[in-house]
């Protein structure tokens, strides 16, 4: 009942976003495309922060690993096949998350935050300081992957409109996938771990395995976002893995309201919009942004996702009077 | 499921637990049989919680062994012990307060058949877990509250919920840490009835302060003082014991026997 009621605004929002390419303005198509990528990234982190209670402060690592993987795996003078580089880069991010998860998930609370950060910094320096990554200038992806299947090309990622809809389609699929996963027995265990991990263990759940599953899945989806980013912009830099990026995506999740997938998307839109607007006003835009984040945390504990509920309650309260 | 009377479910031999220089439990041996309520009794600081924590796997013993149905389970973690059939409730209510009563117990039931790979099954469509959860909620006497958010239940109802969760894990041994604590006399009486009903097929080890309740339900009582085992026997023997009376005199006002 409730799910259907909230479906309409979601579909309206989707329709509005889907109309962006009709503007024909490359600037808007690219910037909204970027926001969609960040929204996928934010949803992947929300699986950890909002649903499992694992505050990862190093999620940019998995974004960056897949982004670099496309650039490195693609041949210099011709396009790689999308059907090879996409699973390969996402798989590498998943593998990295699995291995790192084996270590970081042995820690809790503040230590977990610091250790995830430490691993992300290690990944940052691997791409920044070794020949693998091409130094601080990063690496170009000269040819966007080709979607051709035995000569048939369903879509063309070098076409900005096709690319936009490809990203949008991935976003919708990731949303539906995560929404479904969260209703599965696996998802219910994650939410139980967030609520009371000790109790889950005494009920007979080996919570480490579930957390590792969630961490790997979040890493893979974060990698999917990183892959799309690299293909969208055609170049990657070590800054994609920096702790600023890990912090930004965490802010998107907080802004949108932790534990709400649509909130994570809204948080990504709000964050990027504020960045654009404030940067137009002043070069000290981060000061304004910081103020807004503080205000949201203080006055909107449920983030943007909590706003419809608040309005509803305010209206009902008004009727009661 | 075999329910042989007097079958030894849980046997702890000479459990010792040290915290640095402090000996919280020394050489504590406890036997729990099926269809029996065994009460751990003792003043505050006697080491009852330490003992139950060692039995549930929340705390590894420094020395001693624990056997469940003849198998050594000393090295098993709390989660593994839950899987073999030992369930526990906690002294401080330990539930998922944001979830409904049904979801709390459904999660407990789901733990018996975990399918973490089936990402596309809806948890709420797993009929077996829902049915089991509803049955256990009824058994714990909480049938009227199935769809309530558990955080708003009364204290006594939350304790009942804990028991429903333990039941949903098919536990043969119930380790209950002060299930009557903080309950009114009416709630307490209904909980005693629940405990008696559960005893019919399982073994229950209880930590409890409420003397009236203890003597109403106990088949066997182990008295602990200062981490030591003082006396173990049926209620009549404990009531008559001079050592027990001496240990309690002046330390615990509520001990009226």
Q: What are A227-262's pLDDT values in tens digits?
A: 999 999 999 999 999 999 999 999 999 999 999 999
B72: left (phi over 0), alpha (psi -120 to 50) or beta: beta
The verdict on a CB contact (< 8 Å) between A199 and B96 is yes
The pLDDT, as a whole number, for residue B183 is: 83
Percent of chain A past pLDDT 90, that is, above it, reads 78
B1 or B112, which is more confident?
B112
Distances (CA, A) of B130 to A57, A143, A190, B107: 37, 53, 18, 9
| Mean pLDDT in residue range B172-200 | 88
Residues in B closer than 8 angstroms to A201, CB to CB, are: 77-79, 82
The pLDDT, as a whole number, for residue A211 is: 97
The pLDDT, as a whole number, for residue B75 is: 95
Report the residue of B78, B107, B126 to disrupt the A interface, i.e. the one with the largest count of A CBs within 10 Å: B107
CA distance A208 to A185: 16
The pLDDT, as a whole number, for residue B257 is: 44
Q: What are B42-99's pLDDT values in tens digits?
A: 888 889 999 999 999 999 999 999 999 999 999 999 999 999 999 999 887 789 999 9
Crossing angle for the helix pair A60-73 and A109-129, to the nearest 10 degrees: 20
**Is pLDDT at B5 greater than 70 in this prediction?**
no
Residues in A closer than 8 angstroms to B107, CB to CB, are: 188-189, 192, 200, 203
Q: Coil, helix or strand for B226?
A: coil
Tokens of B207: 């930590």
Percent of chain B past pLDDT 90, that is, above it, reads 60
Long-range pairs of B180-186 with CB within 8 A, sequence gap ≥ 24: B180/B208, B180/B209, B180/B210, B180/B213, B181/B91, B181/B209, B181/B210, B182/B155, B182/B156, B183/B155, B183/B156, B183/B159, B184/B156
Mean pLDDT taken over chain A: 93
Cβ(A241)–Cβ(A64) below 8 Å = yes
A313 or A174, which is more confident?
A174
The pLDDT, as a whole number, for residue B216 is: 85
CA distance A63 to A51: 20
Inter-chain Cβ pairs, chain A and chain B, closer than 8 A: 88
Q: Coil, helix or strand for A164?
A: helix
CA distance A136 to A128: 5
Confidence of residue B1 (pLDDT cuts 50, 70, 90): very low
Question: What predicted TM-score, i.e. pTM, was given to this entire model?
Answer: 0.90
Q: What are A190-208's pLDDT values in tens digits?
A: 999 999 999 999 999 999 9
A300 or B212, which is more confident?
A300
Q: What are A274-302's pLDDT values in tens digits?
A: 999 999 998 888 899 999 999 998 998 88
**Is pLDDT at A63 greater than 50 in this prediction?**
yes
Residue with tokens 């199935």: B146
Q: Which residue of A has its CA nearest to B57?
A: A202
| Mean pLDDT in residue range A31-42 | 97
Q: Which residues contact residue B187 at a Cβ distance below 8 angstroms, ignoring those fewer than 6 apart?
A: B154, B155, B156
CB atoms within 10 A of CB B108: 33
How many Cα neighbours within 13 Å face the side chain of A218? 33
The verdict on a CB contact (< 8 Å) between A181 and B58 is no
**Strand locations in chain B, DSSP E?**
8-19, 22-33, 36-41, 63-68, 71-72, 86-89, 173-177, 203-207, 220-225, 228-233
Cβ(A105)–Cβ(A211) below 8 Å = yes
| Mean pLDDT in residue range A8-14 | 92
**Is pLDDT at B251 greater than 60 in this prediction?**
no
CA distance A97 to A218: 8
Cβ(A232)–Cβ(A37) below 8 Å = yes
Confidence of residue A152 (pLDDT cuts 50, 70, 90): confident
The pLDDT, as a whole number, for residue B250 is: 47
Q: Which residue of B has its CA nearest to A190?
A: B116
The pLDDT, as a whole number, for residue A321 is: 42
Confidence of residue B3 (pLDDT cuts 50, 70, 90): low
CA distance A320 to B81: 52
The pLDDT, as a whole number, for residue A318 is: 60
- The least confident of A230-234, B10-14, B155-159, B211-215 is B211-215
């Amino acid at each position: 009942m409730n799910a259907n009621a909230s479906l309409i605004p979601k579909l309206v929002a989707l329709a509005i976003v889907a109309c962006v390419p009709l503007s024909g303005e490359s600037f808007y198509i690219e910037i909204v495309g970027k926001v969609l990528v960040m929204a996928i990234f934010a949803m992947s982190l929300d699986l950890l922060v909002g649903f499992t209670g694992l505050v990862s402060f190093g999620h940019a690592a998995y974004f960056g690993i897949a982004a670099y993987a496309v650039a490195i795996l693609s041949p210099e003078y011709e396009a790689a096949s999308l059907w090879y580089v996409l699973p390969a880069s996402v798989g590498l991010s998943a593998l990295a998350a699995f291995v790192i998860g084996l270590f970081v998930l042995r820690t809790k609370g503040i230590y977990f935050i610091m250790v995830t950060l430490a691993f992300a910094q290690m990944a940052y320096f691997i791409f920044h300081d070794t020949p693998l990554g091409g130094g601080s200038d990063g690496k170009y992806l000269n040819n966007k992957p080709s979607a051709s299947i035995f000569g048939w090309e369903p879509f063309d990622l070098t076409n900005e409109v096709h690319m936009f809809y490809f990203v949008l389609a991935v976003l919708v699929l990731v949303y539906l996938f995560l929404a479904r996963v969260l209703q599965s027995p696996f998802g219910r265990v994650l939410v139980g771990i967030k609520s009371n991990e000790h109790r889950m263990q005494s009920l007979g759940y080996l919570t480490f395995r579930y957390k590792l599953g969630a961490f790997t899945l979040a890493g893979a989806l974060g990698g999917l976002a990183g892959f799309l980013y690299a293909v969208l912009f055609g170049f990657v830099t070590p800054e994609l893995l920096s702790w600023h990026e890990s912090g930004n995506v965490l802010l998107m999740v907080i802004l949108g309201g932790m534990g709400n997938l649509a909130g994570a998307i809204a948080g990504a839109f709000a964050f990027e919009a504020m960045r654009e607007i404030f940067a137009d006003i002043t070069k000290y835009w981060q000061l304004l942004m910081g103020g807004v984040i503080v205000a949201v945390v203080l006055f909107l504990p449920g983030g943007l996702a909590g706003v419809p509920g608040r309005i509803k309650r305010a209206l009902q309260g008004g009727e009661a009077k | 499921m075999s329910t042989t009377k007097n079958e030894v479910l849980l046997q702890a031999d000479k459990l010792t637990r040290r915290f640095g220089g402090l000996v919280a439990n020394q050489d504590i041996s406890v036997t729990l049989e099926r269809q029996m309520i065994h009460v751990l009794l003792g003043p505050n600081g006697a080491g009852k919680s330490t003992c139950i924590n060692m039995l549930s796997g929340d705390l590894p013993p420094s020395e001693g062994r624990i056997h469940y149905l003849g198998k050594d389970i000393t090295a098993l973690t709390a989660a593994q012990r839950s899987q073999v059939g030992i369930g526990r409730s906690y002294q401080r209510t330990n539930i998922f307060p944001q979830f409904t009563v049904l979801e709390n117990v459904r999660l407990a039931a789901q733990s018996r058949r975990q399918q973490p790979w089936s990402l596309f099954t809806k948890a709420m469509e797993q009929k077996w877990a829902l049915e089991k959860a509803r049955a256990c909620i009824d058994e714990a006497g909480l049938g009227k509250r199935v769809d309530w958010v558990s955080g708003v239940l009364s204290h006594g109802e939350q304790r009942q919920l804990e028991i429903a969760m333990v039941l949903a894990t098919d536990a043969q041994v119930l380790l209950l840490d002060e299930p009557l604590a903080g309950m009114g006399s009416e709630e307490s009486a209904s909980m005693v009835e629940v405990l008696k009903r559960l005893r019919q097929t399982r073994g229950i080890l209880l930590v409890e302060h409420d003397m009236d309740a203890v003597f109403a339900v106990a088949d066997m009582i182990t008295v602990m003082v200062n981490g030591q085992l003082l006396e173990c026997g049926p209620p009549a023997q404990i009531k008559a014991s001079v050592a027990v009376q001496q240990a309690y005199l002046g330390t615990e006002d509520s001990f009226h026997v």
